Chain A
Amino acid sequence: MIARYFNIGILLLTLALAGCVTRKPYDYSAFREHLPRSIVVLPPLNQSTDVRGTYSYLSTVTLPLAEMGYYVYPVAEVDALMRENGLPTAGEMHQVPLNKLGEIIGADSVLYITLRQYGSKYQVLSSVTTVTADGKLVDIKTGKTLWEGTATAQQSSGDSGGGLIGILITAAVTQVVNSATDPAHDVSSMANFQLFTTKDYGLLHGPYFPKDKAR
């Protein structure tokens, strides 16, 4: 029986890999032409009902982008500067003209993120946390779109053994813990890695990426 599940697992893995092969890779011609050194990330637009999305997601973007080899402007300080200049919301910040961004921050490119989903759906015995993010990288000098991508990450709270009562208690406990720590924050990191680092669909490597590790 177990062996059968593993066979199915192998089949699914094969399908997943084959699926990757047939999907057309992203067209990087504009990206290669205007390869940026630096990225300014604006606070994400949040289309979900969970108000925590914008700043939770914003505080997970620096790591994958920097590890891809880009200079990433300090996200909190960029946000603060925008607010001080009369732009209190992500929506207003996304409207700032490119030449202004270039002049004030000195960035080569700007990353616009839209959260289509952010948050947890609670069921009786467990919960499912989903984050879906769209990303768009724009060249500040030319206004050209260098890259666009989308990613979804999902995590369900696992239930531990101990019969139905045990499961019920676990569900209650994880809901409390989860609501305190916002599980979607961790799922945001997963979505990010997928969005930026997936081969053939993520970003190209930037100037700080070690040459010997380049693919």
Chain B
Amino acid sequence: MSSQNKILLLPLALAVLLTGCRSSSIYYWGHYENIVYISYTKPDKVTPELQAGIMEEDMHKAASANKPLPPGFHAHLGNLYYQMGKSDLAVQEFEKEKAQFPEATVFMDRLIAKLTKK
């Protein structure tokens, strides 16, 4: 094989390797991880209201993309509602997390209990 052919084949081989490795995601991620990151790095710059608004938008987009939201999404949104003083909405989100992922039950019940005690 001439060097010329090898040059042509390398990008092809890389493309095959890359697409072979890549699979479509299970979940619609939206901004969940970015919001967690920003809440740690710039807590003074982003209010819970602003963060919740972005996550609500993600929720609509996930629904129209017909993809499930990732683990922790509803729990985190619920916690933002809690910080905003909207306990009813918070409990709803914690319940959604449980419904989607039964593994969350113990932890979500603990957060709900904390809310209803106050």
Chain A contacts to B: CB under 8 angstroms: 2-4, 6-7, 9-10, 13, 37-38, 52, 55-56, 58-60, 62-63, 66-67, 69-78, 80-81, 104-108, 182, 185, 208-210, 213
Q: In the docked arrangement, what's the CA distance between A137 and B96, Å? A: 27
Q: Does B26 lie within 8 Å of A7, measured CB to CB?
A: no
Chain B contacts to A: CB under 8 angstroms: 3-4, 6-7, 10, 13, 23, 25-27, 29, 32-34, 36-37, 39-41, 70-72, 75-76, 79, 97, 101, 103-107, 110-111
Q: In the docked arrangement, what's the CA distance between A74 and B55, Å? A: 14
Which residues of A lie under 8 Å from residue B76 when comparing CB positions? 74, 76-77
Q: Does B40 lie within 8 Å of A59, measured CB to CB?
A: yes
Q: In the docked arrangement, what's the CA distance between A70 and B103, Å? A: 10
Secondary structure at the B interface, as helix, strand, loop or mixed, is helix
Q: Contacts A66-B26, A210-B26 given: A106-B37 contact, CB under 8 Å?
A: no
Please give the distance in Å from B65's CB to the nearest CB on chain A. 16
Q: Contacts A55-B40, A77-B79 given: A6-B107 contact, CB under 8 Å?
A: no
**Other A-B pairs, 14, CB within 8 Å; known A6-B3, A66-B27, A75-B36:** A3-B4, A3-B7, A10-B6, A38-B103, A59-B37, A62-B36, A72-B71, A73-B75, A77-B72, A77-B75, A104-B106, A104-B107, A105-B106, A182-B41
Q: Does A56 lie within 8 Å of B41, measured CB to CB?
A: yes
Q: Does B75 lie within 8 Å of A74, measured CB to CB?
A: yes
Q: Does B25 lie within 8 Å of A67, measured CB to CB?
A: yes
10 intermolecular pairs with C-beta atoms under 8 Å apart: A2-B7, A60-B33, A60-B37, A69-B26, A74-B107, A80-B79, A104-B106, A104-B107, A105-B107, A106-B105
Please give the distance in Å from B26's CB to the nearest CB on chain A. 6
Q: Does A62 lie within 8 Å of B70, measured CB to CB?
A: yes
Q: In the docked arrangement, what's the CA distance between A108 and B107, Å? A: 12
Q: Does A67 lie within 8 Å of B27, measured CB to CB?
A: yes
**Nearest A residue to B73 by beta-carbon distance?**
A74
Which residues of A lie under 8 Å from residue B25 when comparing CB positions? 67
Please give the distance in Å from B92's CB to the nearest CB on chain A. 15
Q: In the docked arrangement, what's the CA distance between A192 and B72, Å? A: 18
Q: Does A9 lie within 8 Å of B72, measured CB to CB?
A: no
Q: Does B71 lie within 8 Å of A3, measured CB to CB?
A: no
Q: Contacts A2-B7, A56-B41, A63-B33 given: A37-B70 contact, CB under 8 Å?
A: no
Which residues of B lie under 8 Å from residue A4 when comparing CB positions? 3
Find B37's partner among A66, A70, A78, A185 (CB 8 Å cutoff).
A185
